[in-house]
Chain A
Amino acid sequence: MNTATHTLDHHDGHGHHPTGLMRWLTTTNHKDIGTMYLTFSLLMFFLGGAMILGVRAELFQPGLQLMKPEFFNQLIGVHALVMIFAALMPAATGFANWMIPLMIGAPDMALPRLNNWGFWLLPPAAMLLTMPFVLALFGIGDGAVATGWTLYAPLSVQGGIGVDFAIFSIHILGISSIMGSINIIATILNMRAPGMTLMKMPLFCWGWLVTAVLLIITLPVLAGGVTMLLTDRHFGTHFFNAAGGGDPILFQHLFWFFGHPEVYILLLPVWGLMPHVLSTFTRKPIYGHTAQVWSFIAIGVLGLIVWAHHFLTAGLPVPALLYFMYSTMSISLPLAVLFFCWIATMWRGAMSFETPMLFAVGFIVLFGIAGLTGLVLADVAADAQYHHSYFVVAHFHYALFAGGIMGVMTGVYYWLPKWTGHMYSEKLGKLHFWLTVISFNFTFMPQFFLGLAGMPRRIPDYALQFAEFNAISTVGAFVLGLSQLIFAYNVWRCVKGGEKASDKVWEGTSGLEWELSSPPPHHSWDIQPVIKTS
């Protein structure tokens, strides 16, 4: 204990932090780095959103009005890459940086310098990804990657320099994610407060632990796949070229071996966060803590062995079709455990509906639609109709916008008072929630029907029978996009000032993070807390 006190004095004593830009460039503080991740994520969220509003504007009516198909193809692919790699994943990593040390009673992340490096790889990676747009303006190359985010060979072998930029961007983003994952695993396994056994660890940390393991398993496979693509493009290899003994479908296997777990990589941190929010606003303990931990692990394991359901129309052999169908369906079981636990946590609580709780409930309902349509998509015969159609587009936006992004917003509203020491505007928060939920459904519900009626995805122009639903979807998308400005303003306002938040912030909170002041000191848990064994 003495040593700890000494360290505390020492740290508070030295005042030679760099200030201004150098503070952010050189920081190894988990809170600063978390803030940078979240800020970067928000900026990229608006960039990716602006791209897709261009797409939706083109799709407002049949015919080509605003852009050439080449540019349309660039927008859809880069939108996805930006949203997944530069908006959602950094948001989750930002949460991890801010909250994991606070939740487990650690003074910082285990590997602070790696942490700094992990973040500062992101801006160059995002620049690489989007630079071909700018280069094309100066007549260099023909724009960004135009293959969709899936980069399927041989289309990506044929593509322009945008593909090379995307490959290197993915390499850098992957390195960043792997460093983040190593750091999170090292922190969680080594720096928990005495008494906090793994099974007692908060579920948010558990969600992230599984995510980090999945990232380390799958990212190298993606990196290998895109490197093979690079050598096919420039060095005469034939991994994906049948004429040289290769196979285009091999790329799809490699890509989706990463791509499917990636869905859970994006969602597990959110699933980990949900029980905390629900417990807080129901003023009742989390239901089924252990069951949820095992569900996370089960989903992680199952997520690694179902990848081929992303290309069931590629002509797989019958045993493979049956295997991937039934294994995919089986994911519904651990997922159902989570839904059961969320609703059982709410049952017989004393609920109040502040903005984070609204987002949490919105998340559960809309993510429910994603899960149920996912169950249907697993069926090989019906998938032949859904696959490559707008039905799939709607399905994964229910999963990744309603599940991923609304989950992140739940976390932002929930933790923002802790981070800033100020309350956000509840009125603006609620307005943001209702506009988001309503316009989200206006955007994506019609896309289910478009898919059923036979509209393929990734087309810049469409037959006349698809016109009405596309028009509705575009109007919804613009309302959805503009509503997010309220979110940005509300966050900005809260950072700048506002009503003082208490240490506990919410009436029903429990956990180490709420014992610190709001905002927590720059260096927290210099004295390690001890969890009493009950």
Chain B
Amino acid sequence: MTTLNPTPAKLFAGTGLTLAAGNALADYTWNFPKPVTPIARDTLNIHNEFMVIITVLFVVVFAIMVYSMIKHRKSAGAEPAKFSGPAGALQWFWVLVPFGILLFIDFVLMGIPAFHAVIEMEDTRTKADMVLKVTGLQWKWKYEYPDSGIQFVSTLTTPREQIEGKEAKGEHYLLEVDNEVVLPVGKKVRILLTSTDVIHTWWVPQFGVKRDAIPGFLRETWVRIEEPGVYRGQCAELCGKDHGFMPVVVRAVPEAEYAAWVDKKKAEMAAAAAGGDRTWTKDELMAAGKSAYEKNCAACHQPEGQGLPPAFPALAGSKIVNGPLLSPDGKLLPDSHVDRVLNGKTGTAMQAFKATLSDADLAAIITYERNSFGNTKGDMIQPAQIKALR
């Protein structure tokens, strides 16, 4: 099922042209990167076959034209013929032959392998071993493993200084994240995709998989990674200002290693949840808030809280941030600072952060924002309070 039956075209595709086009170059700069899933391998084979076909078509057709341009020049003494269409059965035959060939190329040589590849690519459910849910957010990816309850957000870690040219760029410039997705090798992973704001597209070239993440809908695709390794890709659908800065990094590991990772991740999540239950000091909240702010908020509201108005308002001196924290009886005030951070603002890039951040992070960020950038509210909110407000 993973490989197609050899057709004459595939055998043909294995010849010199394909080699010259890419396979011979180890780093694949001239072609798709090295495939590591059945789909990617099929896609590369199909692509190579098609490239051979269109190269042959191109060369044959334009060889005829170039021959004519050399031979039938006025300066070479050519006399123009008078014909303006096929005359006689023989000419009609030669006129129709190219279209017969093209029909064959379109719907047999290209059409049949393409058909099988589509069916395979869309078969997301048969014998799926596990599910990974991917949610696109401006401008990061959230990953959930429904089987084990693991969930985390994956954000770009390339420092601003590298992007702005103040530091040398690292090896994985723009293609590195804080939390890599870890998947077991050899398992069929059904990937469900959605988004919380605008359309994003999840793409890892070496998987041969690219699928849109659409707000309010679930889309699906699948991978079966055949080799351990780290595979990098990017968001492929324009999704706003930091579209170029939301990479996808997948680490494929052997099954035992994957199981160990799951246990470790579960323990981390339990520890983080426990952090939400105890009472924090203000200094702790401010310190945690600063780092969480820089990771989650600074891209739009800027490190010093000055924002990028009018799309991304300033927090420094903001009416909302400097407004009351909660109602006197501890309830959420509509359109207040806490409401904005937890529930976002519809129709803008301000997302509902309660979906992605822990109670501790939310409490820390809110406390930090109210006591930084010249804001001096002096109050704070505890993770336990956030938990109650969810």
User: Contact residues of A with B, CB < 8 Å?
Assistant: 62-65, 68-70, 73, 141-142, 146-148, 152, 154-155, 157-158, 160, 233, 241-243, 247-249, 282-291, 311, 313-315, 318, 321-322, 325-326, 329-330, 332-333, 336-337, 339-340, 343, 346-352, 361, 364-365, 368-369, 372-373, 375-376, 379-382, 384-385, 387-389, 449, 452-454, 456-465, 508
Contacts and interface: CB of A to CB of B under 8 A. Distances in A.
Which of A154, A157, A318, A382 has the most B CB atoms < 10 Å from its CB? A382
Nearest to B51: A376
B164 to A, nearest CB: 6
Interface in B88-139: 95, 98-99, 102-103, 106-107, 110-111, 114-115, 117-122
A368 B62 contact: yes
Given A147-B238, A387-B236, A462 B117 contact: no
A81 B85 CA distance: 40
Interface stretch (B65-73, B270-278, B290-298, B354-362): B65-73
B217 A247 contact: yes
B219 A315 contact: yes
A248 B216 contact: yes
A70 B308 contact: yes
A463 B65 contact: no
Contacts of A241: 216
Contacts of B198: 152, 154-155, 158
A97 to B, nearest CB: 29
A325 B114 contact: yes
Contact of B85 (A288, A350, A459): A288
B242 to A, nearest CB: 6
Interface stretch (B11-19, B140-148, B201-209, B316-324): B201-209
Contact of B209 (A361, A379, A384): A384
A510 B118 CA distance: 50
A63 B212 contact: no
Given A336-B102, A452-B22, 19 more contacts: A154-B198, A157-B347, A242-B215, A247-B216, A247-B217, A283-B74, A290-B85, A325-B114, A325-B118, A351-B68, A376-B51, A381-B117, A382-B47, A382-B50, A385-B205, A385-B210, A449-B30, A454-B234, A461-B174
Interface string B202-246: 010100111110111101100000000000111111111111110
A286 B80 CA distance: 12
Nearest to A468: B29
Contacts of B84: 285-289
A70 B30 contact: no
Contacts of A288: 84-85
B2 interface: no
Contact of A385 (B74, B115, B201, B208): B208
A317 B275 CA distance: 45
Given A157-B347, A347-B68, A389-B236, A69 B119 contact: no
Contact of A368 (B58, B171, B211): B58
Contacts, number: 292
A321 B121 CA distance: 11
A463 B173 contact: yes
B390 interface: no
Interface of B: 22, 28-33, 39, 42-43, 46-47, 50-51, 54, 57-58, 61-62, 64-65, 68-69, 72-75, 78-85, 95, 98-99, 102-103, 106-107, 110-111, 114-115, 117-122, 162-165, 169, 171-175, 193, 197-199, 201, 203, 205, 208-212, 214-217, 219-220, 232-245, 308-311, 347-349
20 contacts: A62-B174, A155-B239, A157-B347, A248-B214, A282-B80, A285-B83, A311-B212, A313-B236, A330-B106, A333-B106, A343-B64, A347-B81, A351-B69, A365-B65, A376-B47, A385-B205, A385-B210, A388-B236, A454-B234, A458-B244
Contact of B210 (A336, A350, A365, A388): A388
B75 A352 contact: yes
Contacts of A64: 163-165
Contacts of B47: 376, 382, 385, 452
Given A155-B199, A315-B214, A462-B174, A343 B118 contact: no
Given A315-B214, A382-B43, A350 B65 contact: no
B80 A284 contact: yes
A148 to B, nearest CB: 5
Contact of B162 (A63, A314, A453): A63
Contacts of B32: 385, 452-454
A361 B220 CA distance: 45
Contacts of A465: 29
Given A313-B201, A368-B61, A349 B39 contact: no
Nearest to A286: B84
B97 to A, nearest CB: 11
A329 B165 contact: no
A201 to B, nearest CB: 15
Contact of A463 (B58, B68, B174): B174
B76 to A, nearest CB: 9
A413 to B, nearest CB: 18
Nearest to B160: A64
Nearest to A386: B47
B30 A452 contact: yes
A332 B178 CA distance: 46
Contacts of B217: 242, 247-249, 315
B102 A351 contact: no
B208 to A, nearest CB: 6
B208 A333 contact: no
A287 B85 contact: yes
A302 B219 CA distance: 28
A349 B72 contact: yes
Given A63-B162, A453-B28, A351 B199 contact: no
Contact of B212 (A73, A243, A314, A347): A314
9 tightest Cβ-Cβ pairs between the two chains A and B: A242-B216, A459-B244, A381-B117, A454-B205, A315-B219, A388-B236, A372-B54, A285-B84, A348-B81
A353 B114 CA distance: 41
Contacts of A325: 114, 118
Contacts of A283: 74, 80
A464 B57 CA distance: 34
A63 B174 CA distance: 9
A158 B347 CA distance: 5
A288 B86 CA distance: 8
Contacts of B311: 70, 142, 160
B158 to A, nearest CB: 9
Given A154-B198, A452-B32, A461-B174, A249 B82 contact: no
A329 B241 CA distance: 35
B57 A372 contact: yes
Contacts of A286: 84
B199 A350 contact: no
Contact of A349 (B80, B120, B242): B80
Contact of B62 (A70, A160, A365, A387): A365
Contacts of A379: 46, 50, 110, 114, 117
A373 B22 CA distance: 17
B388 to A, nearest CB: 25
A8 to B, nearest CB: 35
B30 A333 contact: no
B216 A348 contact: no
A460 B245 CA distance: 9
Contact of B73 (A326, A352, A464): A352
B78 A381 contact: no
A286 B69 CA distance: 16
Given A73-B238, A247-B217, A368-B62, A65 B165 contact: yes
A310 to B, nearest CB: 12
Contacts of B79: 350
